[in-house]
C-alpha cells in the first residue's frame, strides 16, 4: 500500500516534551530509556520514531498502558500536540507542514475526535453541542440543527436534543461526544480512550455501538485504548505501544498467536486463545491414509466455534481456505491446543 | 512494658528548645548592652522628606509645560475626569426616583424581587440619612473605577489565564499590590494626577484591579481542558474557542471577580477622600478626624448598604442556574420599575426632599457619649492595661534597640520561618526603611502591629477551632463572617472610636475586629479539611477528643494556620496604618498629615513607601506558610 491511498500515513514521528527538545532529538540522547533521558536532559520522549499506515475504512487500534504515549500519538495526528519531528499525511494531505488555515480546514471537515472525558460544553444544550463543529464552520442555524437531529437519532439520543449534558448519564454524554464527532461527516475519526470513564456494562454497549456505526457509516477509525479486550474486539489491526514505541503491529490473531517479545506475550497471556485464533493455527497437513471425508470448516473460523463440530465428528475436520484444503485437525489436536491454556474459562470450555 | 526502650544516644541530645532559647537570650543580652546606641530617631526634616516635597513643588510648577505631563499624564487625567463627570451627570439626570427605579430594576433582573426590594429600600435610606448627593458621587466614582478596572483587568486576566508565561510575570506584581496598605497608593497619585475626583478614581482603580485580574485568570484556568481541546479538534479558531468555550464556562467565576472588584473599590473610595475625591468618604474622614461618630456613622452605614446591595446583585448573577433564562415576568417587572422611576423623576425635584430626611447625628453622638461614660470603667481599664503593660514597654524596646540588632533579629526569624530568599528581601525592606528616615515611626507602627497580631491570632485561632469542632457554633458564626467580609475596612474604626476615643489602642481594637474573620475562616477550613479517615483512625485507636485536636487536627492544619497568621499580619498592618486617622500615630499619621499640610507632603509620601516596605517585610517573614516544606523535612541543627 502506498502512502497516497492510505487514509493515514505516519512516518518517523517523534514527540519530546521538555526544554530544548529539538536539541535532544538531534543528539544520541533520544535513544536513552525514559528514566535516563529525564535524568540527563529533563525531557520526556512520549512518542519515539513511530510509523504506521491506516487503510481507508479500517479500525486501527493503538493499545498501551498509561504513560506509553498513545494519547500523545493520537493528538499529534492533527497537531493538537505539535510533534517534534516526523511526517503525517491524512487523505494524502501533509499535516505537519499545513498552514493554520489548512490545518483548521482538516480538523473541520476531514478528521474529528472523541475524548475520554467527553469535553462537552455544559452551557449548551445537547443539540448545540452536536452542532458545534458545524457552527465553527459557519453553517446556518437551521441547517446545522437539522443535521444534528439526524445524527442524534443515529446514536440513539432521540428526544434528548434540548437537555443539557449534565442531565445525561455518562454513557449518554459519550454518545453526544460521538454525535458531535460524526456531525461534521469526517473521513477519519479518532477515539482517545472514549469508554475508559464508563461503567463496564455501559462500556460494552458503547463498543457494540462503535461496531454498528462502523458498519453503517464506514469511517476510518483510530481507536486508543488501554483495555486489551476492547482492542481485540474492535481492532482489525492493533499497534501495541510501550515507552513511546510501537513494539508490535498486527492483527489480533498475530498478536496473540505470535507475540513479538516478552512484553507483548505477557500482555496477551490471559487472553483465551481459542477466542482469538482461527483454525489456521491448529490445522496440520493430513497424514498418510488419514480419512479426508470429514466435515469442512472455513479457515477463518475461530477455534472455539469448532469445538462442537470436532467433538461430534469421529473423523478429522477439513479446514478449507476457499476451495483449497488448508489442513486438517481432529479431537486430539483440539485437546492438545486447549490443554496448553491455563485460564479456567478455556478449561471449562474444553471440559 | 513491651515497647522498645529509649536509646541512650537520645539522652545526650540537646532538647529542641535550647537553641532558640539561647539565641533569644543572646539577643536580650545584646539589647541590654547596647540599648540606646545605634537608634535612628525621627526627624521631620530628613533629607528624603524634603527631597520629595521639593519634587512636588517642581511638578506643580511644571504640570503644564513638562512633556510627560502635557502629552501623557494630563490626558489620562482628563479622560478619567470626563468618565467620572459623565457617570455623575447621568446619575444626577435620572433624579432620585429614576435612580432608585433603575437600580431596583437591575436588582430584579439580577436576583428577583427580594434583591430588588433591598436595593430600593437601601437607596431610599441614602436619601433619608440626608446623604443622597454624596451617595450619588460615590456611586459614580465607584462605577468609573470599576469600569476601568474591568476594562484593563479582565483582558489581562484572560491573557494570564491562557498563557503560563504572562501568569508568571503578573503574579508577583499582584502579590505585592495585595499587601500594599491602601494609604500607600494615594501620595504617588496625588503627585502625578494632582488631587480630586480623577486621582481618586485612578487610586480606586489601581487598588481594585488585582482581584479582577487574579480571579479572571483563575476562572479561565479552571475551564475544562478537554472542552478546549474538543473545540480545537473541530477546527475552531482561537477567537471562536475564546468566545464559545472559555468565556461561557468562566462566566460565574468571572461574576465573582466583578464582585470582588466592586468591594475593593468601595473600601478604597473612602480613603480616596484624603486626596479630595468627592463622596461619602468626606463625611467619614471628617467624622474620623473630629472623633465624631455621629457624623461618620450614617455615611459608614450608607457605604455598607451600598456594598451589600451590589454584593447581593453580583452574587445572584454568579449563582444563577446557567441553564435557566430570566423569565418574561421578571423582565417586565424590572422594566416597569425602572420606567416608573424615570417617569416619576420628571415630576419631582432632582434633590431628595428635605422633609423626608432624618438627622441622626445628634442622637448618635449622644448615644456614643452615653456609652463612653457608662462603660468608662471597663474600656479605660482594658485600654490602660494594654497600653502601660504591653504597648509602652514593647515600644521602648523597639525604638531604643540598635538598628543592627533589629535587623539581625528580622533576618534570623525570617530565615528560620521562610528560608533564605524571603529573609534577604525582608532585610532589604528594613534597611530601606532605615535609609528613608522613617525608622522610629516604623518601629512604633511595628509595635502596634505586633500587639494587634498577637491578639488577632489568639482570638482567631480559638474561634476557628471552636467553629471546626461545633457545627452549631459554626452555623451561628458563618453569617457574621460573611457579613464582615463585605464591609469596607474603615467601618471597623467606628465601634473602636466609639468605645476608646482617639488612641493607639483604638487602631489595635479596629484591626483585631478587621483581621479576625479571615483568620477564623482559614483556621476552621484548615481543621475541617483534615481527612475523615485520619480522624477515624485516631478515634479508633482510642484517642480522646483533645488528643485528636492536638495530635491530629492541629498538626495537619498547620499550613492553613500559618497562612492565617500571614493573612492576619498583612491585614492588621493595613488597618493599623489607617488607624493613623484615629490616633494610632506613627506612619499612618504621617501619611494623613502629608495630605493636609503641604510642607509635610514629603514625609507623608515617604511614610507611605515605608508602610509598603513594612508590609512586604512582614509578609516575607511569615510567608513560609505557603512555600516551606512540612516539619519532618526540616533539619534541626
Q: Does A308 touch chain B (CB under 8 A)?
A: no
Q: Pick from A80, A135, A177: which is nearest to B232 by CB?
A: A80
Q: Do residue A109 and residue B235 have CB atoms under 8 angstroms apart?
A: yes
pLDDT at A344: 37
- Rounded distance, CA B620 to CA B570, Å? 10
pLDDT digits (tens, 9 = 90+) for A236-257: 999 999 988 999 999 988 888 8
Q: Do residue A115 and residue B234 have CB atoms under 8 angstroms apart?
A: no
Question: Is residue B396, in this structure, part of any structural domain at all?
Answer: no
pLDDT at A343: 38
pLDDT at A238: 93
pLDDT digits (tens, 9 = 90+) for B103-118: 888 888 888 888 889 8
Q: What average pLDDT score do residues A165-187 get?
A: 90
* Cβ pair B198, B84 in contact under 8 A: yes
Q: Which residue has the higher pLDDT, B319 or B246?
A: B246
Question: Is residue B515, in this structure, part of any structural domain at all?
Answer: yes
pLDDT at B192: 79
* Cβ pair B56, B594 in contact under 8 A: no
pLDDT at B635: 35
Read off the C-alpha cell for B363. Answer: 442622637
Q: Do residue B235 and residue A116 have CB atoms under 8 angstroms apart?
A: no
The residue segments making up the domain with residue B497 are 404-630
- Rounded distance, CA B100 to CA B120, Å? 6
Q: Which residue has the higher pLDDT, B348 or A89?
A: A89
The nearest alpha carbon in chain B to A81 belongs to B229
The domain A274-350 having CATH identifier 3.90.1280.20: the answer here is: yes
Average pLDDT of chain B, as a whole number: 81
Same domain, B237 and B148: yes
Q: Do residue B322 and residue A109 have CB atoms under 8 angstroms apart?
A: no
Is the dihedral angle over the CA atoms B290, B293, B299, B304 positive or is it negative? positive
Same domain, B340 and B455: no
Q: Does A115 touch chain B (CB under 8 A)?
A: yes
Q: Which chain B positions have a beta carbon within 8 Å of A136's beta carbon?
A: 231, 234-237, 240, 244
Phi, psi for residue B636 in degrees, rounded to 5: -100, 130
Looking up cell 496625588 gives: B190
Question: Is residue B224, in this structure, part of any structural domain at all?
Answer: yes
The nearest alpha carbon in chain B to A131 belongs to B234
Q: Does B232 touch chain A (CB under 8 A)?
A: yes
pLDDT digits (tens, 9 = 90+) for A105-155: 999 999 999 998 888 988 889 999 999 999 999 889 999 999 999 999 988
Picking from A211-225, B95-109, B383-397, which range would have the lowest pLDDT averaged per residue? Answer: B383-397
Residue A59 has pLDDT above 90, yes or no: yes
- Rounded distance, CA A284 to CA B173, Å? 78
Same domain, B305 and B416: no
Same domain, B429 and B563: yes
CATH 3.90.1280.20 location in chain A: 274-350
Phi, psi for residue A8 in degrees, rounded to 5: -135, 130
pLDDT at B625: 56
Q: Does B238 touch chain A (CB under 8 A)?
A: no
- Rounded distance, CA B412 to CA B407, Å? 9
Q: Does B249 touch chain A (CB under 8 A)?
A: yes
Is the dihedral angle over the CA atoms A173, A177, A183, A187 positive or is it negative? negative
Pairing of strands A237-242, A245-250: antiparallel
Read off the C-alpha cell for B382. Answer: 482594658
pLDDT at B452: 87
pLDDT at B556: 84
Q: Do residue A119 and residue B229 have CB atoms under 8 angstroms apart?
A: yes
Among B254, B258, B255, B268, CA closest to B141: B268
Q: Do residue A136 and residue B248 have CB atoms under 8 angstroms apart?
A: no
Q: Do residue B234 and residue A120 have CB atoms under 8 angstroms apart?
A: no
Q: Does B226 touch chain A (CB under 8 A)?
A: yes
The nearest alpha carbon in chain B to A125 belongs to B323
Q: Pick from A107, A121, A124: which is nearest to B233 by CB?
A: A107
CATH code (residue B67):
1.10.3720.10
Quick one: pLDDT band at residue B12, thresholds 50, 70, 90? low
Closest Cα of chain A to B159: distance in Å? 20
Residue B634 has pLDDT above 70, yes or no: no
Same domain, B346 and B448: no
Q: Report the share of chain B in percent with pLDDT over 90.
A: 7
3-state SS class at B98? helix
Q: Pick from A103, A117, A133: which is nearest to B234 by CB?
A: A133
* Cβ pair B576, B513 in contact under 8 A: no
Number of domains composing chain B? 2
Picking from A260-264, B27-31, B79-83, which range would have the lowest pLDDT averaged per residue? Answer: B27-31
User: What is the end-to-end Cα distance of chain B in Å, rounded?
Assistant: 32
Residue B588 has pLDDT above 90, yes or no: no
Among A270, A196, A120, CA closest to B226: A120
Q: What average pLDDT score do residues B202-222 get?
A: 89
Q: What average pLDDT score do residues A341-348 get?
A: 38
B559: number of CA atoms within 13 Å, CB side?
11
pLDDT digits (tens, 9 = 90+) for B417-451: 778 888 888 888 888 888 888 888 888 888 888 88
Phi, psi for residue B568 in degrees, rounded to 5: -55, -45
Phi, psi for residue A51 in degrees, rounded to 5: -145, 140
Residue B623 has pLDDT above 80, yes or no: no
Quick one: pLDDT band at residue B3, thresholds 50, 70, 90? very low
pLDDT at A4: 56
CB neighbour list of residue A241: distance below 8 Å, 6 or more residues apart = A50, A62, A63, A64, A68, A69, A70, A73, A247
Pairing of strands A93-94, A85-90: antiparallel
Closest Cα of chain A to B199: distance in Å? 41
* Cβ pair B505, B387 in contact under 8 A: yes
Burial status of residue B359 (CB atoms within 10 A of its CB: 0-12, 13-18, 19 or more):
exposed
Q: What average pLDDT score do residues A25-40 get?
A: 81
- Rounded distance, CA B540 to CA B534, Å? 10
pLDDT at A342: 41
Same domain, B147 and B287: yes
Q: Does A51 touch chain B (CB under 8 A)?
A: no
Same domain, B495 and B564: yes
Q: Do residue A108 and residue B234 have CB atoms under 8 angstroms apart?
A: yes
Q: Do residue A105 and residue B235 have CB atoms under 8 angstroms apart?
A: yes
C-alpha distance from residue B12 to each of B15, B16, B158, B635 (Å):
9, 12, 59, 18
Residue A209 has pLDDT above 90, yes or no: no
Closest Cα of chain B to A30: distance in Å? 27
Q: What one-character DSSP code corresponds to residue A288?
A: T
Q: Does B227 touch chain A (CB under 8 A)?
A: yes
Q: Report the share of chain A in percent with pLDDT over 70.
A: 96
Same domain, B455 and B351: no
- Report helix angle B586-596 to B558-578, nearest 10: 40
Q: Could you tell me the pTM of the whole model?
A: 0.78
Q: Does B324 touch chain A (CB under 8 A)?
A: no
Q: Which chain A positions have a beta carbon within 8 Å of B324's beta carbon?
A: none
pLDDT at A341: 52
Q: Which chain B positions have a beta carbon within 8 Å of A118's beta carbon?
A: 226
Closest Cα of chain B to A121: distance in Å? 6
Q: What average pLDDT score do residues B548-571 get?
A: 83
Looking up cell 469442512 gives: A296
pLDDT at A126: 93
Measured in whole angstroms, the distance separating CA B5 from the mean position of its chain's CA atoms is 53
Same domain, B361 and B471: no
Closest Cα of chain B to A131: distance in Å? 11
Residue A290 has pLDDT above 90, yes or no: no
Q: What average pLDDT score do residues A27-53 get?
A: 85
Q: Does B244 touch chain A (CB under 8 A)?
A: yes
- Rounded distance, CA B46 to CA B48, Å? 6
A with B: how many residue pairs have Cβ under 8 Å apart?
74
Q: What average pLDDT score do residues B198-210 get?
A: 88
Same domain, B67 and B197: yes
The domain A56-79+97-267 having CATH identifier 3.40.50.970: the answer here is: no
Residue B630 has pLDDT above 70, yes or no: no
Quick one: pLDDT band at residue A177, thresholds 50, 70, 90? very high
C-alpha distance from residue B240 to each of A11, B235, B291 (Å):
32, 9, 57
pLDDT at B325: 73
Average pLDDT of chain A, as a whole number: 86
Q: Pick from B227, B240, B248: which is nearest to A119 by CB?
A: B227
Closest Cα of chain B to A16: distance in Å? 20
Q: Do residue B234 and residue A180 have CB atoms under 8 angstroms apart?
A: yes
Question: Which B residues, 206 through 225, put their C-beta within 8 Å of a C-beta on chain A?
Answer: 224
Question: Which A residues, 167 through 186, put their C-beta within 8 Å of a C-beta on chain B?
Answer: 177, 180, 184
Q: Do residue A109 and residue B323 have CB atoms under 8 angstroms apart?
A: no
Question: Is residue B542, in this structure, part of any structural domain at all?
Answer: yes
Q: Which chain A positions have a beta carbon within 8 Å of B227's beta carbon?
A: 119-121
Q: Which residue has the higher pLDDT, B228 or B292?
A: B228
Q: Pick from B227, B228, B234: which is nearest to A120 by CB?
A: B227
Mutation target to probe the B interface, by most B beta carbons within 10 A, among A95, A117, A136 is: A136
pLDDT at B600: 77
Question: Is residue B21, in this structure, part of any structural domain at all?
Answer: no
3-state SS class at A298? strand
The nearest alpha carbon in chain A to B241 belongs to A136
Q: What average pLDDT score do residues B455-476 get?
A: 88
Question: Which A residues, 93 through 112, put their C-beta within 8 Å of a C-beta on chain B?
Answer: 103-109, 111-112
- Rounded distance, CA B598 to CA B582, Å? 21
CA Rg value for chain A? 23
- Report helix angle B558-578 to B601-622, nearest 10: 170
pLDDT digits (tens, 9 = 90+) for B62-119: 777 777 777 778 888 888 888 888 998 888 888 888 888 888 888 888 888 888 898 8
CB neighbour list of residue B519: distance below 8 Å, 6 or more residues apart = B456, B457, B459, B460, B461, B464, B564, B565, B567, B568
Closest Cα of chain A to B232: distance in Å? 7
pLDDT digits (tens, 9 = 90+) for B234-268: 989 989 999 999 998 888 888 888 888 888 888 88
Q: Which chain B positions have a beta carbon within 8 Å of A180's beta carbon?
A: 230, 234
C-alpha distance from residue B283 to each of B12, B59, B203 (Å):
67, 30, 19
Q: Does B329 touch chain A (CB under 8 A)?
A: no
Question: Is residue B8, in this structure, part of any structural domain at all?
Answer: no
Question: Is residue B248, in this structure, part of any structural domain at all?
Answer: yes
Beta strands in A204-281 (DSSP E): 220-225, 237-242, 245-250
Quick one: pLDDT band at residue B493, thresholds 50, 70, 90? confident
Residue B273 has pLDDT above 70, yes or no: yes
Measured in whole angstroms, the distance separating CA B358 from the mean position of its chain's CA atoms is 32
Q: Which chain B positions have a beta carbon within 8 Å of A190's beta carbon?
A: 233
Q: Does A78 touch chain B (CB under 8 A)?
A: yes
Q: Do residue A132 and residue B234 have CB atoms under 8 angstroms apart?
A: yes
Same domain, B208 and B276: yes
Q: Do residue B249 and residue A123 have CB atoms under 8 angstroms apart?
A: yes
pLDDT at B629: 43
CB atoms within 10 A of CB B160: 25
Q: What one-character DSSP code corresponds to residue B223?
A: S
The interface predicted TM-score (ipTM) is 0.79
Amino acid at each position: 500500500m502506498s502512502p497516497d491511498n492510505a487514509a493515514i500515513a505516519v512516518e518517523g514521528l517523534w514527540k519530546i516534551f521538555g526544554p530544548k527538545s529539538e536539541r535532544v532529538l538531534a543528539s544520541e540522547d533520544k535513544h536513552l530509556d525514559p528514566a535516563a533521558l529525564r535524568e540527563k536532559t529533563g525531557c520526556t520522549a512520549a512518542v519515539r520514531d513511530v510509523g504506521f499506515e491506516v487503510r481507508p475504512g479500517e479500525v486501527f487500534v493503538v493499545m498501551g498502558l498509561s504513560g506509553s504515549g498513545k494519547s500523545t500519538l493520537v493528538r499529534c495526528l492533527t497537531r493538537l500536540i505539535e510533534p517534534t519531528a516526523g511526517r503525517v499525511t491524512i487523505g494524502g494531505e501533509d499535516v505537519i507542514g499545513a498552514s493554520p488555515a489548512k490545518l483548521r480546514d482538516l480538523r473541520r471537515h476531514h478528521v474529528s475526535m472523541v475524548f475520554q472525558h467527553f469535553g462537552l460544553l455544559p452551557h449548551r444544550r445537547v443539540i448545540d453541542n452536536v452542532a458545534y463543529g458545524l457552527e465553527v464552520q459557519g453553517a446556518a442555524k437551521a441547517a446545522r440543527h437539522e443535521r444534528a437531529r439526524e445524527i442524534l437519532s443515529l446514536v440513539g439520543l432521540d428526544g434528548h436534543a434540548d437537555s443539557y449534558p449534565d442531565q445525561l448519564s455518562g454513557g449518554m454524554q459519550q454518545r453526544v461526544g460521538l454525535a458531535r464527532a460524526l456531525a461534521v461527516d469526517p473521513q477519519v475519526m479518532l477515539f482517545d480512550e472514549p469508554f475508559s470513564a464508563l461503567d463496564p456494562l455501559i462500556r460494552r454497549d458503547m463498543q457494540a455501538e462503535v461496531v454498528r456505526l462502523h458498519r453503517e457509516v464506514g469511517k476510518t477509525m483510530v481507536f486508543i485504548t488501554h483495555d486489551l479486550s476492547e482492542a481485540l474486539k474492535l481492532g482489525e489491526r492493533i499497534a501495541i505501544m510501550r515507552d513511546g514505541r510501537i513494539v508490535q503491529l498486527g492483527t489480533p490473531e498475530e498478536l496473540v498467536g505470535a507475540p513479538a517479545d516478552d512484553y507483548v506475550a505477557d500482555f496477551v497471556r490471559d487472553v483465551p486463545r481459542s477466542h482469538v485464533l482461527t483454525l489456521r493455527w491448529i490445522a496440520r497437513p493430513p497424514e498418510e491414509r488419514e480419512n479426508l471425508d470429514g466435515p469442512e470448516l472455513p479457515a477463518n473460523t475461530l477455534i472455539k466455534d469448532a469445538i462442537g463440530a470436532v467433538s461430534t465428528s469421529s473423523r478429522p475436520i477439513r479446514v478449507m481456505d476457499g476451495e483449497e484444503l488448508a489442513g486438517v485437525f481432529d479431537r486430539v489436536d483440539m485437546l492438545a491446543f486447549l490443554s496448553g491454556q491455563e485460564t479456567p474459562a478455556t478449561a471449562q470450555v474444553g471440559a | 512494658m513491651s515497647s522498645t526502650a529509649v536509646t541512650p544516644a537520645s539522652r545526650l541530645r540537646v532538647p529542641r528548645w535550647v537553641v532558640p532559647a539561647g539565641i533569644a537570650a543572646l539577643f536580650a543580652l545584646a539589647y541590654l548592652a547596647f540599648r540606646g546606641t545605634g537608634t535612628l530617631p525621627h526627624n521631620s526634616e530628613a533629607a528624603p522628606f524634603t527631597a520629595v516635597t521639593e519634587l512636588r513643588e517642581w511638578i506643580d510648577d511644571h504640570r503644564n509645560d513638562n512633556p510627560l505631563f502635557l502629552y501623557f499624564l494630563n490626558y489620562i487625567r482628563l479622560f478619567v475626569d470626563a468618565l467620572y463627570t459623565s457617570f455623575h451627570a447621568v446619575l444626577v439626570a435620572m433624579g432620585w426616583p429614576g435612580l432608585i427605579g433603575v437600580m431596583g430594576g437591575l436588582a430584579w433582573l439580577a436576583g428577583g424581587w427580594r434583591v430588588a426590594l433591598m436595593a430600593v429600600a437601601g437607596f431610599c435610606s441614602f436619601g433619608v440619612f440626608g446623604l443622597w448627593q454624596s451617595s450619588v458621587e460615590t456611586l459614580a466614582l465607584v462605577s468609573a473605577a470599576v469600569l476601568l478596572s474591568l476594562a484593563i483587568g479582565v483582558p489581562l486576566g484572560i491573557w494570564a489565564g491562557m498563557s503560563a508565561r504572562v501568569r508568571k510575570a503578573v503574579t508577583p506584581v499582584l502579590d505585592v499590590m495585595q499587601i500594599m496598605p491602601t494609604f500607600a497608593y494615594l501620595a504617588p497619585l496625588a503627585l502625578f494626577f494632582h488631587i480630586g475626583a480623577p486621582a481618586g478614581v485612578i487610586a480606586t482603580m489601581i487598588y481594585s484591579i488585582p482581584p479582577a485580574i487574579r480571579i479572571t485568570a483563575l476562572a479561565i484556568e479552571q475551564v475544562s481542558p478537554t472542552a478546549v481541546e474538543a473545540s480545537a479538534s473541530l477546527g475552531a479558531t482561537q477567537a471562536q474557542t475564546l468566545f464559545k468555550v472559555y468565556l461561557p464556562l468562566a462566566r460565574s467565576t468571572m461574576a465573582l471577580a466583578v464582585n470582588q472588584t466592586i468591594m475593593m473599590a468601595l473600601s478604597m473610595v473612602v480613603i480616596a477622600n484624603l486626596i479630595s475625591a468627592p463622596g461619602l468618604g468626606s463625611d467619614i474622614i471628617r467624622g474620623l478626624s473630629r472623633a465624631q461618630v455621629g457624623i461618620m456613622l450614617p455615611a459608614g452605614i450608607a457605604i455598607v448598604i451600598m456594598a451589600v446591595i451590589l454584593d447581593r446583585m453580583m452574587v445572584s448573577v454568579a449563582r444563577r442556574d446557567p441553564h435557566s433564562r430570566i423569565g418574561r415576568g421578571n423582565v417586565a417587572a424590572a422594566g416597569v420599575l425602572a420606567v416608573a422611576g424615570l417617569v416619576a423623576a420628571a415630576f419631582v425635584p432632582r434633590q431628595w426632599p428635605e422633609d423626608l430626611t432624618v438627622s441622626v447625628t445628634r442622637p448618635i453622638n449622644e448615644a456614643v457619649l452615653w456609652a463612653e461614660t457608662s462603660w468608662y470603667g471597663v474600656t479605660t481599664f482594658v485600654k490602660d492595661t494594654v497600653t502601660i503593660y504591653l504597648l509602652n514597654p514593647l515600644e521602648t524596646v523597639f525604638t531604643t534597640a540598635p538598628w543592627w540588632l533589629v535587623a539581625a533579629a528580622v533576618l534570623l526569624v525570617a530565615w528560620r520561618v521562610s528560608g533564605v530568599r524571603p529573609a534577604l528581601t525582608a532585610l532589604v525592606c528594613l534597611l530601606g526603611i532605615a535609609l528613608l528616615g522613617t525608622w522610629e515611626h516604623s518601629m512604633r507602627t511595628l509595635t502596634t502591629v505586633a500587639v494587634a497580631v498577637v491578639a488577632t491570632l489568639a482570638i482567631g485561632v480559638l474561634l476557628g477551632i471552636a467553629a471546626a469542632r461545633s457545627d452549631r457554633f459554626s452555623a451561628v458564626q458563618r453569617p457574621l463572617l460573611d457579613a464582615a467580609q463585605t464591609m469596607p475596612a474603615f467601618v471597623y474604626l467606628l465601634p473602636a472610636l466609639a468605645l476608646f476615643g482617639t488612641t493607639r489602642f483604638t487602631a489595635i481594637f479596629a484591626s483585631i475586629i478587621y483581621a479576625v474573620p479571615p483568620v477564623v475562616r482559614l483556621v476552621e477550613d484548615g481543621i475541617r479539611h483534615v481527612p475523615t479517615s485520619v480522624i477515624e483512625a485516631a478515634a479508633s485507636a482510642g484517642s480522646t477528643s483533645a488528643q485528636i485536636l492536638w495530635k491530629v487536627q492541629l498538626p495537619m492544619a498547620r499550613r492553613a494556620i500559618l497562612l492565617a497568621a500571614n493573612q492576619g499580619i498583612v491585614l492588621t498592618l493595613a488597618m493599623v496604618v489607617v488607624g493613623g486617622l484615629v490616633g494610632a500615630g506613627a506612619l499612618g499619621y504621617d501619611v494623613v498629615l502629608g495630605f493636609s499640610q503641604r510642607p509635610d507632603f514629603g514625609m507623608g509620601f515617604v511614610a507611605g513607601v515605608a508602610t509598603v516596605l513594612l508590609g512586604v517585610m512582614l509578609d516575607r517573614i511569615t510567608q513560609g506558610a505557603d512555600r516551606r516544606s512540612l516539619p519532618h523535612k526540616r533539619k534541626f541543627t
